[in-house]
Amino acid sequence: MITGAAGGIGRATVRRLLAQGATVHGLDRDRAGLEALGEELADVGRFHAQAVDLTSRRDTERVLGRLNERLGGRCDILVNNAGISRLRAFGDTDDELLEELLAVNLTAAFRITRALLPSLRASGRAAVINIASELALVGQAGYTAYCATKGAVLGWTRALAVELAPSGIRVNALCPGPIDTAMLQAEFAALGDPLRARAQEIALVPLGRLGAPQDIAAVVEFLASDAAAFVSGAAWSVDGGKTAR
C-alpha cells in the first residue's frame, strides 16, 4: 500500500514495485491523478487506486476497512508517502497551518499504520517505509512547521521499529533531499523567482542536481526487500550529499 500515490514520488514508487511483481494499492486525495495513473497502468492489472482524504478520520477508516478485505488480511509493504509542505515564517505560522501539516505528514501515517497492523503482522516479514525529509535532520528558515512534523515522523519511526520487531515488521524512514516534483516546483514559485531558487538549491547539492522521483523509489524498493532484512529503525538520507555538508 502506498499513500500519496498520484504524486511524483508516489507514482515512481508504484511503478517500481509493480515491476517487481507486487500488487499495489494506491491512496491519494487527487482523484483525477489516481485515475490517470490507473489508465496508464491498465495493462499491468495489479494496481488498485482509491481516492481518500487522509485528513478525515471517517473517510480513512471507511476506505481502509474495504482495503483490508481486499488485502486478504495480509500486507507486506506499507509506504507512508503522502505529505505536504508550506513555506511560511514562524511568526506567521498559525494553528491552522500547523494542524494541516500534522494531519497529513504525521497523523495520517500513524492512523493508517495502526489500522493495517493486523495485516502487517500476518505477513511475518512486513516492511513499513515512512517518507520523512532532509528537513527532519536539518533546519531551514520558513519551514518550522514542516520540520516539526517530519522530525516527529523520525521519532515515531524509531519507536515503532522497536515495538514491532517481535512481529517481524521492519520500520524505516527515508529522508529525501530536493526532489524534482510538483511540490518542490511550488516551493520555488513561492519564493518569487523559480529559476533562481532552483539554481540556488542545486548549488547546495554536492552531486550537482535535483533528485528524481525514481531515486527515491529505488531506495524504497531496497528497504522493502529481503536485501534489507537486517535494517530497521534507520533514517536513510537520499539527498545527493546535501546534509553531509
Give catalytic residue positions: 146
Average pLDDT over residues 179-198: 92
Question: Over the stretch 104-132, which tens digit does the pLDDT of each residue have?
Answer: 999 999 999 999 999 999 999 999 999 99
Domain chopping of the chain, boundaries: 2-176+211-237
CATH of domain 2-176+211-237: 3.40.50.720
Question: Over the stretch 50-102, which tens digit does the pLDDT of each residue have?
Answer: 999 998 988 888 888 888 878 888 999 999 999 999 989 999 999 999 999 99
pLDDT of residue 238: 98
Q: Which residue do the cell numbers 515512481 mark?
A: 12
- Torsion angle of C-alpha atoms 142, 177, 117, 64, degrees rounded to 10: 70
Average pLDDT over residues 162-177: 98
pLDDT of residue 38: 93
| Count of C-beta atoms within a 10 Å radius of residue 80 | 28
Question: Over the stretch 14-23, which tens digit does the pLDDT of each residue have?
Answer: 999 999 999 9
Backbone angles phi, psi at 118, to 5 degrees: -60, -40
Which three cell numbers mark 23?
A: 500488487
* Residue 238 · residue 132 · CB < 8 Å: no
